[in-house]
Structure 1
Amino acid sequence: MAFRGFPPEAIQFYERLGADNAKSFWHEHRGDYLDAVKTPMTELTEALGEYGPFHMFRPHNDLRFSKNKPPYKTHQGAYGELEGGSGFYLQLSAEGLMVAAGYYAMGKDQLRRFRDAVVADATGTELERLVADAVAAKYEVGAIDELKTAPRGYDKAHPRIGLIRRKGLMLSKSFGVPAWLHTKQAERRIRDCWDGARPVCDWLDAHVGPSTEPPGDRPF
């Protein structure tokens, strides 16, 4: 079926899961998750197929290395990546919809290319301008992490040290729970968000590109 929006029950499901993150709740309400969350998210990612293919993240947490985590995630995420390297992310939770695009976590080879391009005046000043334009357009700028000081071999007094310290570069918008989230208009709003992030994504694809490291050596 075609995507028609996320029903209000999707938000209600995550509100209730946040209050009772237990296996008993999940097994009792698994049908609600499938009907209100997984099915429309699947339909949405199919409609946005040119940004994928998408990987939908599993709803349960990996508890093998952390016994303090709740058994189930309180959001549903989906991630697609184009050949150029840019990633496109969707997340639905009790807080509503979040949409992001860019390079959230760079591999070591990507970080070298990214930092060298930021240091170079022509490419670095271009990115600085593009990021400033994105901030003016109400995007949040994030990454998996950033260093507290300059990475080895880079000048800590560099005028673009704030970008150099980053371990990724992703633009995002959090929309909350507007009325259009429950309609097919959500697809267009997501496309508009990703289109607005395209100048930064294009810069990253041109000067960083995909990682060539083995998957086990990448930070995700």
Structure 2
Amino acid sequence: MGTPTFGGIPEAALDFYEDLEADNSKTFWAEHKHVYDEAVRAPVAALAEALAEFGPAKIFRPHRDVRFSKDKTPYKTHQGAFVAVGPSAGWYVQVDASGLMVAGGFYAATPEAVAQYRATVDDDVRGAELVRIVTDLERAGYERGGDRLKTSPRGIAPTHPRIDLLRHRTLTVSRQFGCPPWLSTPACVEHVAAAWREMAPLVEWCRQVL
């Protein structure tokens, strides 16, 4: 049985996560799993299929890994999908109680990859290229995120012209769409695709470097 045609993210998906935030229990999940399957999982899988031009997507499982966490709530309060272009770089889309979010960049990196990233940012040509890419995205309304040091990395002067980017250990940009009228319609896929295309220069830069 193939993935159904994408028709939008229904309001029931947001309602499901709002209720899950209030009662994150196995009892609630068992009673409402059909809502998750029909209103969350299936539409997100169909959205990922409609975005196949970017590559195959991983649909994340709903269960949290609580083995090493003090927070023992069993379920994630969002549904995410990730399209990888490399070991740690790609595009992301997420649905939760607040609505829709999109992101792109690199989300995890080995120490060797972080060192490569910083060496490239230190380069006057490739580093300046990243500055332009990130600046353009921030001006377009995207929020820069990622794990970063509060101080300068070892061996890098705090006066480096790109010190802000050199502090990053991961680098992403994101946009919160919330719950616009088009979220529950087929047009949703075009909005996500347009945002991912805008983020493509950053994703491609990360792919080349990492």
Q: TM-score, normalised by structure 1?
A: 0.89
Q: How many pairs were matched up?
A: 207
Identify which of 62, 73, 76 aligns with 1:70.
73
- The residue identity in structure 1 corresponding to 2:27 is S
* Superimposed CA distance per residue, residues 41-66 of structure 1 (whole angstroms, 9 cap, x where no aligned partner): 11111111232321111111112222
- The residue identity in structure 1 corresponding to 2:81 is A
| Structure 1 position 67, deviation (Å) | 4.2
Q: Which residue of 1 aligns with 2:150?
A: 148
| Structure 1 position 102, deviation (Å) | 1.2
Q: Which residue of 1 aligns with 2:47?
A: 44
Does residue 1:196 correspond to 2:198, yes or no?
yes
Identify which of 157, 160, 172 aligns with 2:159.
157
| Structure 1 position 84, deviation (Å) | 8.8
Instruction: Report the 3-state secondary structure (helix = DSSP H, G, I; strand = E; otherwise coil) of the residue aligned with 1:101.
Output: strand
Q: Which residue of 1 aligns with 2:58?
A: 55
Alignment identity in percent?
A: 46
Instruction: Report the 3-state secondary structure (helix = DSSP H, G, I; strand = E; otherwise coil) of the residue aligned with 2:133.
Output: helix
Measured on the aligned residues, the alpha-carbon RMSD in Å equals 1.5
Q: Report the more deviating stretch, 38-47 or 81-90.
A: 81-90
Query: Distance in 2 between the 1:86 and 1:64 partners?
Result: 26
Q: Which residue of 2 aligns with 1:217?
A: none
Q: TM-score, normalised by structure 2?
A: 0.93
Structure 2 gap segments, 5+ residues each: none
Q: Which residue of 2 aligns with 1:28?
A: 31
- The residue identity in structure 2 corresponding to 1:196 is E
Going from structure 1 to structure 2, the CA distance change for 1:85 and 1:18 (only over 3 Å counts) comes to closer
Identify which of 179, 192, 207 aligns with 1:205.
207
Query: Distance in 1 between the 2:54 and 2:86 partners?
Result: 10
| Structure 1 position 120, deviation (Å) | 1.4
Query: Distance in 1 between the 2:101 and 2:53 partners?
Result: 19
Structure 1 gap segments, 5+ residues each: 210-220
Instruction: Report the 3-state secondary structure (helix = DSSP H, G, I; strand = E; otherwise coil) of the residue aligned with 1:173.
Output: strand
Query: Distance in 1 between the 2:11 and 2:103 partners?
Result: 22
| Structure 1 position 119, deviation (Å) | 1.0
* Superimposed CA distance per residue, residues 26-83 of structure 1 (whole angstroms, 9 cap, x where no aligned partner): 1000000000000111111111123232111111111222242311111001111125
Does residue 1:16 correspond to 2:39, yes or no?
no
> Which consecutive aligned stretches of 4+ in structure 1 deviate over 6 angstroms post-superposition?
none
Query: Distance in 1 between the 2:163 and 2:175 partners?
Result: 24
Residues 78 and 89, structure 1, Cα contact 8 Å, conserved in 2: yes
- The residue identity in structure 1 corresponding to 2:21 is G
Q: Which residue of 2 aligns with 1:167?
A: 169
Residues 52 and 79, structure 1, Cα contact 8 Å, conserved in 2: no
Q: Report the more deviating stretch, 176-185 or 101-110.
A: 101-110
